[in-house]
Chain A
């Protein structure tokens, strides 16, 4: 099966380089040099941050990405609205909408999704997150225990699929009780989006086995990923499904390794190391197991960016230079492609790649790295015989 490679659209601004402050969008004050909105005659111009996200979306589809993840956190734009707004000005890009089942009623979510399938000609994909817990969960107005969240996610997806494909659908769950729920025929004929499922706890892995098309993980040390994948494979087999895997990872690729590491070094030098405790502290608030797994990789004793190189071409300090996962790939174009090939050999079927700045790096990674990704040898043979 072919590998699906997604890009990422940052939903809370972007910056010209890892070492810089935010200049794209209005998350930082709008000053000379700001983009979307910029200044025109001293006043913010008519562009909004969505105009910049539209540029990234176009860059991603032109340079060969299958789709783009649109993340959702409290202080970000909303992925449903972004996807709807951009659906009609893009052609092939799939919109991977990140959302938590606690945000939406499953029947309404099915309606929204089916309508968006109609608007976009079937380009909706889900990234289902069951929530990091802690303060952020209460921020959303969602009060529920960690393991219950995954049970609710399972019920949410039961109802969502049921009303879409088996309506009139009746369901009597602990969280949802629906009587004769259905979609109008025109909506019901649309395909249900593929599901990328996030979550690292046992409860998450259990729920993923039942409902996900792809089990999505941040990049972790390869051996850890191997263990995690084996665990998910086992759970999926119990419910008669074959598990597929996706990895979300930043790629910092340059013509030479030296240039790539120079970019990291400059980012590191611009970073205020007194912020380390604050950054790691913020990861401790919730009950996210994924967050804790990343935190276990911390190295706040690091004296140099080199101390955070944990394997060839793998640097674990990305979360210090921008929000999000810690581990990323650093190297020349061939190195970057080789690490992706390694991951494919390890069982990865799809990637969500990212790089700062997302507009320019979409072109770079699309033009320089993706053509070097071999894919699985078996898969290539299969393709050749088709």
Chain B
């Protein structure tokens, strides 16, 4: 079984300022990244933040990642636009685009996806952002709460799947209706994008069991993961289905464990979100820290250590049943190269030491 690695695109700035995690790229940084008045600056109007996103994506491609994950973030760039703009110029990579099922009708999501699939050679993936707090929903004009959000997501997927490649599809649900719908050839030339879901509530698990292709876990504790995976597999097989499992992790890999932990500690203290004691409380295992969201990362759990330790941990996560890794890092351009050069070789051709773990 070969694992797949996806890199997370920082759609609201990537935190390249290693010394200062609040520093973002381009106009996502406080000063807009402008040079001082005494220096001739030929960039204004010629470059934008998407150029840097393209650069990170290209780095992920050359460093050997399978794809990129483009998060839905109300405080960042729109995931559909970024994905479509970059898929055109960057070959091979899959683009897993996250969006809430409220962004438009499922027919329209399918329609947009069909065009995306056609020009990219079938490289689009869907990640549905189903859970949200009521205030965030209301800001988007969405007043559906709790378990109903999952009912709606289920209907959304039923419609998007139902119209793909067939005609005369009619659906009458609580949230969506279609009459005589259907995307026919050549729009349906490529398959509907694979569906990634997440969450650990009974509703989330039921949705994945019935409709997910990949379930993305936010936990990285091995025993917890094993339990979750067993449970979801049991639910899925009751529906005669099989789905894959993934985890979402931040990565801080350095030549030595000391360097890696020093880096995390420095970011934590600089961000001013807690003290040394607070930092220690977030250490879940010798190579696991769970405070990354507080320092600007998408995934709160992260693997920290030497290249060997990180590879070894990912290997063990894989043995727990995980086939797909959605990884992210501070300074994602540089870290994509680092991961590709130093960690991937240990994962692709496990060293005798790794195999012994």
Contact = CB atoms under 8 A, between A and B. Distances in A.
Chain A complexes with chain B: yes
Contact of B88 (A85, A168, A177): A85
A82 interface: yes
Q: Which of A48, A140, A141, A168 has the most CB of B within 10 A?
A: A141
A119 B48 contact: yes
Nearest to A30: B186
A78 B120 CA distance: 14
Nearest to A77: B115
A139 B141 contact: no
Q: Is the interface of B mostly helix, strand, loop or mixed?
A: mixed
A184 B76 contact: yes
Interface stretch (A110-118, A211-219, A305-313): A110-118
Interface stretch (B97-105, B218-226, B237-245, B253-261): B97-105
A63 interface: no
B78 to A, nearest CB: 4
Contacts of B48: 118-119, 121
Contacts of B89: 88-89
A141 B88 contact: no
A108 interface: yes
Contacts, number: 167
Contacts of B178: 138-141
A81 interface: yes
A159 B115 contact: no
Contacts of B99: 108
The number of chain B residues touching the other chain, given as a range, is: 35 or more
The number of chain A residues touching the other chain, given as a range, is: 35 or more
Interface in B75-105: 75-78, 80-85, 87-89, 99, 102-105
B139 A27 contact: no
A186 B28 contact: yes
A121 B45 CA distance: 8
A87 B85 contact: yes
A27 B178 CA distance: 24
Interface of A: 25-27, 46, 48-51, 75, 77-78, 80-82, 84-89, 102-109, 111-112, 114-116, 118-119, 121, 135, 138-143, 159, 168, 171, 176-182, 184, 186-187
24 contacts: A27-B186, A48-B119, A80-B81, A81-B80, A84-B81, A85-B88, A87-B85, A88-B89, A105-B141, A108-B103, A109-B104, A118-B48, A118-B77, A135-B179, A139-B107, A139-B179, A140-B181, A141-B105, A141-B106, A141-B181, A142-B105, A181-B139, A184-B75, A186-B28
User: Top 7 closest A-B pairs, CB basis?
Assistant: A84-B84, A50-B119, A138-B179, A115-B78, A179-B138, A108-B103, A85-B88
